[in-house]
Structure 1
Amino acid sequence: MKKGMLTLCCLGLLALGGTPSAALAALQTKEVDYRDGGVTMKGYLAWDDAVPGKRPGMLVVHEWWGLNDYARTRARMLAELGYTALAVDMYGGGKVAGHPDDAGKFAAEVTKNLDLMTARFTAALELLKKQPTVDPARIGAIGYCFGGAVVLNMVRQGGLAGVASFHGSLASVRPPGQGGVKARVLVMNGGADRFITPEQIGAFTAEMAKAGAGFRFINYAGAKHSFTNPDAGSFAKKFGLDLAYDAAADRQSWDEMSRFFRELFGK
C-alpha cells in the first residue's frame, strides 16, 4: 500500500474514533490438540497479534457442559484484553454434553479424581506456557460453574499467579495446609445460587484464610447459578434447572475479573 493511501486509511479510522493500531489489530484463534496420557484433548487458543512481545497467559475452564462456544467466547474476550487465552478441554476429545445427566457424569469423572483433574489441567497449562506470545511466569485461570471448581482446586495445588471463579463450586477435594496458597483468589458468586450454601461459603473462607490466600469473595444479590451465561434461561426452561442469566452481574463480574488480573499482572 502506498504511503498516501495508508495515511488516508488511518485518517479515516481516526475520524470514526479509532486508532491506527486498532486498524492493524487482529484477533487470532485456532483449535489445538494436546495430550494427557493416551487421551487427545481439544483446546482453543485466542490472542491478539497486534500486542507486542510476550504477555500473561490465561486458562479458561468450561462449565459442566464441556468446551462449547460459550467457553470459546470467553477466551476471545480475554484475548481482546491483551492476554493469550487457552480454553481447555477437561473431558477429552472435545466432548460436550447435551443433557444435564451427561454433563453430571462427565463432571463427576473429573471432580472425584483429583489426580485426573490435575493431569488434564497441567497438560493445558504446559501447552499455554509454550506459546510464543506467553510469559510463562505470568499465568492465571478463570472458570465457570464446574470450571470454577477446577480452578479453585488447582490454585490450592500451586503453580498459578491467580484465579477467578464465576458461580463455581467451593468444595475442596484436597484442602491445602497452613500457608499453602500463594496465589490470589477471586470468587464471584450469585447471592441467590441455591447450589452454594452459607455453610459452604463459611468453610471456604475459613480454608482460604488458613491457607494464607489473598482472596476476595463477592456475592451478587439476586443472581442465580450460571448468571454469566446468556443461555442459562433456555437451559433452565428446557431441563427444569434453577439457572438464570443476569446481565448486570455478568457485566460487573467481568469488570471485577479484568481489574483483578490487571492489578495482579501490572498491565
Structure 2
Amino acid sequence: MGTHITFKRPDGKEAKGYLANAARGNAPGVVVIQEWWGLSENIKALTDRFALAGFDALAPDLYKGVVVPYHDADAAGKEMNSLNFIEATEQDVRGAAQYLKRNGAKVGLTGFCMGGAVTIIGAAKIPELTAAVSFYGVPPEQAAKPADVQVPLQGHFANKDDYFSPQMVDAFEQGLKAAGKNYEFFRYDADHAFVNEERASVHDREAAEQAWGRATEFFKKHLG
C-alpha cells in the first residue's frame, strides 16, 4: 500500500522512510518508529494500518536499510546500541514530522519497543508534534525526563515485560503525574511486543486490538 520515499532532515541531509497516505486529502499525520529490529514488514503493515484509519503515516528508516531477523536479538541490540537516539529523534524523526506537517496538518508520533522510547524523547524535543503514543518503551532519564514531555502522551505497556519493566513504567508515570502532565497509561497482561503479529510467541491479539483502538481514538481526538 505504501511507498519508500526520501525526505529532508532539519540539518539538510536526506533520510529514507516508508510512507502510506490516507484516502482523504488534508489528513493529519502520524510518524511511526520501528522496534529494535529495524523497518520490518510488521512496522510497514502498522504504517499502512494508520493510513487506513485516516492518517498520513511515515516510518523513518533509522537503521538505513538494515533489518535484523527476529531470532537474532544480539544483532538487534548492536544496531540499537549504535544508534544515536538524540540525533535520530531530532533529525530523522523530526524531519518525518516536518514532512507530514508541510501542508499544515497536525502530527502525532508513535513507536514500538525502542521506538516507544524514541516516541517519548520526541514528545520532549520535537516542537512540530501535537500528541504522542508510546508502545512498551521508556527512555533513559538522561534522554528525556517525565517533566520534559510537551504534548499529551498515551502509553501502552506489558505487565510481563523484561525490557521495560512495570517498575520502570510506574516510576515514569509517577514523574508525569508529579509534573502535572497530560497523559494516560494502560497496562496489559501480556508480553513485551504484544502488538507484533509476526512474532507468534509474544503476540496477543486481544491486547493488541484494545491498544490499537485506544491509540487511534487518542490521535483522532488530538489531531482531528
Normalised to the residue count of structure 1, the TM-score between the two structures is 0.75
Find out whether 1:46 has 2:20 as its counterpart: yes
Please state how far the C-alpha of 1:38 moved relative to its aligned partner.
Answer: 8.6
Residue 195 (structure 1) shift: 1.9
Deviates more, 1:59-68 or 1:166-175: 166-175
Kept in 2, the 8 Å contact 1:55–1:84? The answer is yes
Which of the residues 144, 163, 166 maps onto 2:132? 163
Query: Within the alignment, does 1:143 sit opposite 2:111 as a pair?
Result: yes
Structure with max Cα Rg: 1
Query: How is 1:1-267 mapped onto 2 (pairs within 5 angstroms)?
Result: 29-36=2-9, 40-49=14-23, 51=24, 53-92=25-64, 94-98=65-69, 99-110=72-83, 113-130=85-102, 134-136=103-105, 138-159=106-127, 160-176=129-145, 180-221=148-189, 223-233=190-200, 244-266=202-224
1:173-206, CA deviations, whole angstroms, 9 ceiling, x for partnerless residues? 333585x433111110111112222331232012
Aligned length: 220
Q: Residues of 1 paired with 2:118 and 2:48: CA distance?
A: 20
Separation in structure 2 between the aligned mates of residue 190 and residue 177 of structure 1, nearest angstrom: 19
C-alpha RMSD of matched pairs (Å): 2.2
**Stretches of structure 2 lacking an aligned partner (at least 5 in a row):** none
State the AA in 2 paired with 1:91. Answer: Y
- Contact residue 90 and residue 117 of structure 1 kept, 8 A: no
* Alpha-carbon contact 2:39-2:61 (below 8 Å) kept: yes
TM-score, normalised by the number of residues in structure 2: 0.88
Aligned residue identity for 2:107:
I
Q: Structure 1, residues 234-263: CA drift from partner, whole Å, max 9, x if none? A: xx5xxxxxxx11111011100111111122
Contact 1:64 1:103 in 2 (8 A): yes
